[in-house]
Chains A and B, each alone.
Chain A
Amino acid sequence: MARFFAAKIAQYALVLLVALTLNFLLPRFMPGDPLQYIVGEDIGRLTPAERDAIRVQYGLDRPVVEQFARYVGDLARGDLGWSIGRKAPIGDVLKERLPPTVLLTGAALILSTLIGVALGAFAAWRRGRRSDLGILTGFIFLESMPAFWVGMLLIAIFSVNLRVLPIFGMETPYVRYEGLRRVADIGQHLVLPLATLTIVSISAMFLTARYSMLGVLGEEYITVARAKGLRETWVLFRHALRNALLPVATLFMLRVGFVISGAVVVETVFNWPGVGRMLFDAVLARDYPLLQAGFILTTFAVVAANALVDVVYPFLDPRVRVHG
């Protein structure tokens, strides 16, 4: 068990190290002056003396190893650098952008899991029948659609033509709602981005749940339960589904990284003020430090989710505790 955790910790440390190194090397070894990746297009307006001053301030005149140590040290202290586009410390930008993303991706993760598991269990139960194959085919279609396009269609249908839901953003602009009114307002704005992100995230959940349920339904204890004359719904929910949920639980936590990636395009379409939209704005503004911070932040989120799986899994599956 201890060896297992040591190996895992080493792996996560390696992932973070690779991400940090990549982030560190990109501005320094790309063609052109590294300074342009720190100050952006302002570089044309700076005098040579000012450029040198900034180089010294950022330590670009120091040996590479020292620069790297300084870079990691700054990160550890929460100093993520300065955003070119927003003209603000990146830490402040992220603090403002994180809650909307957590709300959107968290809700999408939960919703896609619930729907995916329900459909997956149903499809497995109806294995090979028309309803099973129909759902399967539907998901092959869904998986082939670009997430941002699904979002654009939903906006065109529900916001523009039916006029039932707001188009952009997280809150109605210029109006300041308080308390419950505000919650309702945010909820209304959440519907379409949430629907989009959920639609594009369900199929992985569905396939895992269906496959896992198929395996469990073939087990002998299910045959025994049926032979005892238990009702079919009781067998399905009390006996089969509980065990079929293990792989789903693992996937749930591992999907964090994927959902964040999906959130980039969905937030862009809906102008949702989260980290994903921030990355898009950073691309437009050539705001390299902000892009780098976004990458580091999402890497941390993915690693944290993976670590959570390792910690939680033995509690979910006692077999791992025995063999581990």
Chain B
Amino acid sequence: MDRAQPLAVAAPARRPRLPRIGVISAVGGGLLLILAVSAVFAPLVAPWDPSIATGAPFERPSARHLLGTNDVGQDILSELIWGSRISLTVGVLAALVATSIGTVVGAVSGFFRGPVDAFFMRVVDVVLSLPFLPLMILLAAFLGPSLLTIVLVVGLVVWARPSRIIRSQVLSLAGREYITAARAVGASDTRILVRHIIPGVGALIVVEFVQAAAGAILIESSLSFLGLGDPIQKSWGSVLYYAQARSAFLSGAWLWWVIPPGVAITATVLGFALIAFSLERVVNPRLRQR
């Protein structure tokens, strides 16, 4: 990093004004905390049961229904609070599936190299070359709309990128001296993988997981918006699907029926993205320069 600084550009040696990593992660963590609390305590926080009609259809916001009601008279605010459970659960589970597959494939390929590596990396290339949304729509349509379908479909498509990143880290770890030392004292492949390699990439796995969660929540919202979500357990994307189907944005209802679910999705994805951004810089301090 001892490159000559461009003269005219950086002449006054100003420090980059990037907010402190602590601030960024606090904002991200704060956003996620609020959403997680509302998800966990949904039965206590939500003013109404969103599965039954508690008002007239298409009610405007009032003291009784802070965000009005939808086309069948269900309370929109309660739908969103209960929806946070679905969106967060599906996103986190899908990210868990993706990161687990990615970790196993990445660790095994990077550690054993040779034909195993060549095979898995071909698979990764293929998965990355397939158009992901049409593929997920196809799979979800055949598997039938359910939350499990979405978790599996998103997980099965998203794992490829983390696996490639984890592999390259494992490749560099596997050449280190302490691995050679472990081998010299007679540790088995499995032991080296489980005791030394996986912990060595642990921090990176966490970063990949958080990043995958951000992506998974965004993808889940798209699939639900396209009508592939569970019609009984509505996520934020499903709420927007119904808002779109009933043309909520053609009336004043867009203010309370379209904006809030989108803000919730954006806040969640942003929360995960900010945490991933700061974790990445803690794990790899070189990134802070950029």
Contacts and interface: CB of A to CB of B under 8 A. Distances in A.
A170 interface: no
B3 interface: yes
Interface stretch (A57-65, A87-95, A296-304): A296-304
Interface stretch (A72-80, A122-130, A315-323): A122-130
A147 B222 contact: yes
A19 B129 CA distance: 10
Nearest to A141: B270
B226 A264 contact: yes
A127 B9 contact: yes
Nearest to A30: B142
A308 interface: no
Interface string B1-42: 001111111100011111000000000000000000000000
B134 A294 contact: yes
B130 interface: yes
Interface string B140-157: 011100000000000000
B134 A146 contact: no
Given A153-B258, A160-B249, A283-B227, 5 more contacts: A22-B138, A160-B250, A218-B4, A257-B129, A268-B244
19 contacts: A30-B142, A30-B143, A125-B9, A127-B10, A128-B18, A147-B222, A149-B261, A149-B266, A153-B254, A223-B4, A223-B6, A226-B8, A260-B133, A261-B131, A264-B134, A283-B141, A283-B226, A299-B129, A306-B129
Interface string B246-269: 000111001000110110011101
Interface string A136-156: 000011011111110011011
Nearest to A128: B16
Contacts of A42: none
A262 B79 CA distance: 26
Interface in A250-279: 257, 260-262, 264-265, 268-269, 279
A15 interface: yes
A19 B266 CA distance: 32
Contacts of B266: 141, 144-146, 149
Is chain B's binding surface mostly helix, strand, loop or mixed?
helix
B273 interface: yes
Contact of B131 (A125, A140, A257): A257
Nearest to A227: B7
A160 B270 contact: no
Interface string A1-36: 000000000011011001100110011001000000
Contacts of A160: 249-251, 254
A128 B15 CA distance: 7
Interface in B68-126: 122, 125-126
Interface stretch (A48-56, A112-120, A179-187, A285-293): A285-293
A298 B131 contact: yes
A68 interface: no
Contacts of B265: 144-146, 149
A178 interface: no
Contacts of B141: 282-283, 286, 288, 291
Given A146-B222, A152-B258, A295 B135 contact: yes
A214 B9 contact: no
Contact of B262 (A140, A149, A257, A299): A149
B256 to A, nearest CB: 12
Interface in A182-240: 211, 214, 217-218, 220, 222-223, 226-227, 232
A149 B122 CA distance: 35
Contacts of A232: 8
- Shortest 10 CB-CB contacts between residues of A and residues of B: A128-B16, A261-B133, A149-B262, A144-B269, A156-B254, A298-B131, A144-B270, A156-B249, A15-B129, A218-B3
B46 interface: no
B137 interface: yes
Contact of B240 (A144, A152, A299): A152
Nearest to A300: B131
A27 B138 CA distance: 11
A83 B250 CA distance: 32
Contacts of A37: 142
Contacts of A214: 290
A11 B249 CA distance: 45
Contacts of B125: 11, 15
A133 B122 CA distance: 38
B132 interface: yes
Contacts of A108: none
B226 to A, nearest CB: 6
Contacts of B243: 152
B39 to A, nearest CB: 18
Nearest to A302: B131
A313 interface: no
Q: Which of A19, A284, A286 has the most CB of B within 10 A?
A: A19
Contacts of A279: 134, 137, 226
A145 B134 contact: no
A146 B254 contact: no
B258 A149 contact: yes
Contact of B130 (A19, A26, A217, A268): A19
A155 B249 contact: yes
A125 B227 CA distance: 44
B67 interface: no
B137 A152 contact: no
A295 B138 contact: yes
